Structure 1
Amino acid sequence: MGVFFVNGTLFGTWASRVPDIKEQVDANNGILGLTLLGIAFGALLSKQVAGQLVTRTGSLPVTRVGAALSCLALLPPAFVRGPLGLGVALVLFGAAMGLLDVGMNSHGVELERLRGRPVMSSLHASFSAGGLAGALVGGLTAAGGIGPRAHFALVAVGLGALAAAASTRLLPAPARPARREESPRAWVPVPRRLRFPLTLLAVTGLCAAAGEGAAADWSALYLHGELGRSTGFASLGYALFSVAMAAGRLAGDGLTARWGAVRTVVFAAAPAGVLFGIALASGDAFLALCGYTALGLGLSVVVPVVFSTAGSLGGEQFGPALTYVSSINGTGMLMGPPLIGFAAEAVGLRAALGLVSLLAVLSAVLMCAFAAQRRGNPPHTAPAPDSAAAGA
């Protein structure tokens, strides 16, 4: 939970200062959206390697190295000048965060198997709590006139120390699945029979992650630029989103174990998309805050369920399965905000954010499609689920 908190705080810290960074590099919405593609590109590259490293060395070293590099990579975006420099800095930031994402989620799958019950949602709740902490501190520093350079430097040092302390209490290396003797140098692929169900899971997570990324990168700009609120008030959008998401994820493990993955996702994501769309249509700042709260609650359970289920389908060598899902899923969080930026240039930011409502509803539809596909498969085509998989 400490490592997940570090990851969330890093993302929340970056998200809270996007308006300042935008002014620093003198970029409009379209140019900013283009530079944000650097995060997606860097993460996509590093995740391909991260899954193979998890298979060969276990998730512990991948998580440790990813956490350290992510803290260091927070610094360059605060010191660059111009959109090109920001794009390069965000490639490095995305690569480090991608490595950490695969490592810590792989570690969460192992923990679920050892404990015999779902825990992934609680771990992701810690990520959301970190996002809240990063957003609140970011709002306070922005209101106090503290620049991104000093802010990011202090956060990097503090989170680096927390990550180092937390990593000493992770599962020891002997607990990892040992496959080095079987394939010491081979690239481990995703089994062909699992590619379609994993793709359905991944796109389900992509839709939810796009909403999460939009809340992070565009909530402050929407409330400040479109609705004319102060930067301090604008930071409340992502803060309330993170509070709601953390609360939903704290309850998510129990709800998933009781209701099952499909009903939990459908009954959460679909209403959230509708309510967020209504809040956008109103054009009211306080209703917009309510909309971000509803969106956080509704999307909270989707990504944890996706990772947990993908880890179960992947069997013993779940690293490549998680890489496959995380690469597509992460595209939503990292490429969703840039695409919204491009759409905002054409139709305005409010209309562009309406895509988030549609994606939330689509995630519920895709989860139903995944369930139907698995019911249509003979039982012997998938690995026998253990207790953690059955709970998920």
Structure 2
Amino acid sequence: MRAQFFVTGALFATWGVHVPSVKSHYGLSEQSLAVAMLAGGAGAVVALLYAGRVLARHAPRSVVPVTGLVCVAAVGSLLLPSQYGWLLALMAVYGMAAAIFDVAINDEATAIERHAGRPLMSGFHGMFSLGGMAGAGAWSMLAPAGVSPIVHLVAASAALGALAWAATPFMLRDVRAAGEGSAPLSLPRGPLALLGLLAALGLVAEGAMYDWSVLYLRQELGSSAGIASLGYASFSGAMAAGRFGGDWVRARVRSVTLLRWSGALGAVGMALALAVPHPAAALVGFALVGLGFSNIVPVLFSAAGRLPGIAPAHGIAAVSSVGYFGLMAGPPLIGFIAQARSLAVGLLVVIVFAVVVSAFARKALGTPDAPV
């Protein structure tokens, strides 16, 4: 299961570090690039309307390899066409497949955590971040060696697709995390709605790092391709470290306290990256964002699985679907702001959303008597 989180993280990073390549290949403005990202978000929204229905009939073990294959095929093909319409289509297909893939692996991770009876979600998401660090780090080494973006996209996607298929037999055979009912996945209401909203705001920061951190270093600060790709790697490395230690922290620190300080640290990190126009400051700032946001999603997903009167699998699926929309819709929002003003102004959204997450921590999680 951890391998699947690694694959989706590495695939996000592989797309993220090549945002400048896509922009150059198709000759796009920030607005046109944002529209392409929005196509991915639109595809995700369409898929999420059917994610619950799909996972009610098919276990994650059968859903993951199919959607994973579509994901790697779409990302690997991003630089093969030359028409903008093909880019929009590929992004839409990628968004649809990645959304169902993401909900499926989070559903199974929740089931594994529930059966184990101890915090595990942060560790699973740590593998996602580790994959992101590996995906970005690979390009930072290959770019100076003269490897073309097309070769990297195709080779990396093929390798990640092979890993996803090889790991599938080790997934749970009978657990259907979203299969406790036949109803399709619907928009959450009540407590689930607030948890989902905060997850979406938290994932906007991750989406911003995937899609804009490399371009910010490259375009706004004039960094080389190798240095620019380290922006994503520093974010993912710090996030992985925070998540691998997150289960230990969650067992000792109240979830409200952890969520508050996580949002605050993320806001401080992004403020540093934007206030000091130097690549070194940006790398440190992005790392602080990664560390700050590392446990926001695991805390919120676990809380969704413990709400009274709601099946754990349905709670986690509902919150993850709304959160995933933030992951896909956040980067286009930043892109539209960047077109109107600048990328630095667009990334201020991350600070605002981090503050909102911190401010609404108690309302979303209540006042637990013990760490979770």
TM-score, normalised to structure 1's length? 0.88
Aligned in 2, Cα 1:317/1:48: closer, same or farther, shift over 3 Å? farther
Task: Tell me which residue corresponds to 1:152.
Answer: 153
Q: Deviations over 1:108-160 (max 9, x none)?
A: 01101111011010000000000011101122333333223221221122112
Percentage identity across paired residues of the two chains:
36
Provide the rounded CA distance (Å) in 1 between the counterparts of 2:276 and 2:184. 50
> In the alignment, is the contact (CA less than 8 A) between 1:40 and 1:94 conserved in 2?
yes
**CA deviation after TM superposition for structure 1 residue 316, in Å:** 7.5
Residues 1:342 and 1:121: Cα distance change in structure 2 (over 3 Å): same
The answer to whether 1:161 aligns with 2:162 is yes
Residue of structure 2 in register with 1:262 after alignment: 256
CA distance in 2, matches of 1:242, 1:201: 23
1:231 alignment counterpart? 225
Are 2:188 and 1:187 aligned? Answer: no
Long gaps (5+) in structure 2: none
Task: Letter of the 1:26 partner, please give it.
Answer: G
More moved, 26-35 vs 258-267: 258-267
SS of 2:89's equivalent in the other structure is: helix
Say which of 282, 288, 293 aligns to 1:294.
288
Please state how far the C-alpha of 1:73 moved relative to its aligned partner.
2.2
Q: Structure 2 CA distance, aligned partners of 1:18 and 1:314?
A: 42
Structure 1 residues 243 and 272: alpha-carbon distance in aligned structure 2, compared to 1, 3 A threshold: same
1:66 and 1:391 map into 2 onto residues whose CA distance is: 36
Cα distance change on mapping 1:275 and 1:189 into 2, 3 Å = closer
Q: Is the 8 A contact 2:253 2:371 kept in 1?
A: no
The answer as to whether partners of 1:213 and 1:337 remain within 8 angstroms in 2 is yes
1:132 corresponds in structure 2 to 133
1:272-311 per-position Cα deviation (integer Å, ceiling 9, x unaligned) = 2023213311222211111101000000000111222223
Moved more, 207-216 or 74-83: 74-83
Letter in 1 for 2:197: V
Deviations 1:251-276 (A, max 9, x none): 11111121122111111221220232
Match of 2:12, as an amino acid? F
Could you give the per-residue CA deviations for residues 297-352 of structure 1, whole angstroms, max 9, x where no partner exists?
00000011122222333877444433322222112211111111111122211122
SS of the residue aligned with 1:78? Answer: coil
Alignment of 1:107-126 (within 5 A): 107-126=108-127
2:222 counterpart SS class: coil
From the CA coordinates, give the structure whose radius of gyration is larger. Answer: 1
Query: TM-score, structure 2 length as denominator?
Result: 0.93
- Residue from 332, 335, 350 that aligns with 2:326: 332
Partner of 1:56: 57
**How far did residue 364 of structure 1 move?**
1.4
CA distance in 1 between counterparts of 2:270 and 2:253 reads 24
Greater helix proportion: 1
In structure 2, the CA distance between the partners of 1:73 and 1:312, relative to structure 1 (3 Å rule), is farther
Distance 1:312 1:67, change over 3 A: farther
2: CA distance, partners of 1:140 / 1:14: 16
Q: 1:14 to 1:314 in 2, by over 3 A?
A: farther
- Select which of 181, 195, 198 maps to 1:201: 195
2:256 and 2:365 in contact (8 A); partners too: yes
Greater displacement, 361-370 / 25-34 = 361-370
Query: Which shows bigger deviation, 135-144 or 250-259?
Result: 135-144
Letter in 2 for 1:257: A
Which runs of 5 or more structure 1 residues have no equivalent in the other structure? 376-389
Q: Which amino acid aligns with 1:150?
A: V
Rounded to whole Å, the distance in 2 between the matches of 1:189 and 1:213 is 23
> How far off is 1:366 after superposition?
2.3
Give the CA RMSD over aligned residues: 2.2
Partners of 1:292 and 1:93 in 2: CA distance: 26
* Change in CA separation of 1:289 and 1:37 when aligned onto 2, cut-off 3 Å: same
2: CA distance, partners of 1:96 / 1:210: 19
Where does residue 7 of structure 1 map in the other structure? Answer: 8
Q: Go from structure 1 to structure 2 and tell me whether the alpha carbon gap of 1:158 and 1:286 turns closer, same or farther (over 3 Å shift).
A: same
Q: CA deviation at 1:54?
A: 2.1
Distance across 2 between alignment mates of 1:287 and 1:164: 39
Deviation of 1:179 after TM superposition, in Å, equals 6.1
1:383 matched residue in structure 2: none
Whether contact under 8 Å (2:177, 2:313) holds in the other structure is no
Cα displacement string for residues 176-230 of structure 1 (whole angstroms, at most 9, x for unaligned residues): 47968xx6xx42566x9x7221111111111111111111111111111111111
Query: Is the contact between residue 185 and residue 318 of structure 2 (CA under 8 Å) also seen in structure 1?
Result: no
1:73 is matched with 74
In structure 2, give the amino acid aligned to 1:68. Answer: L
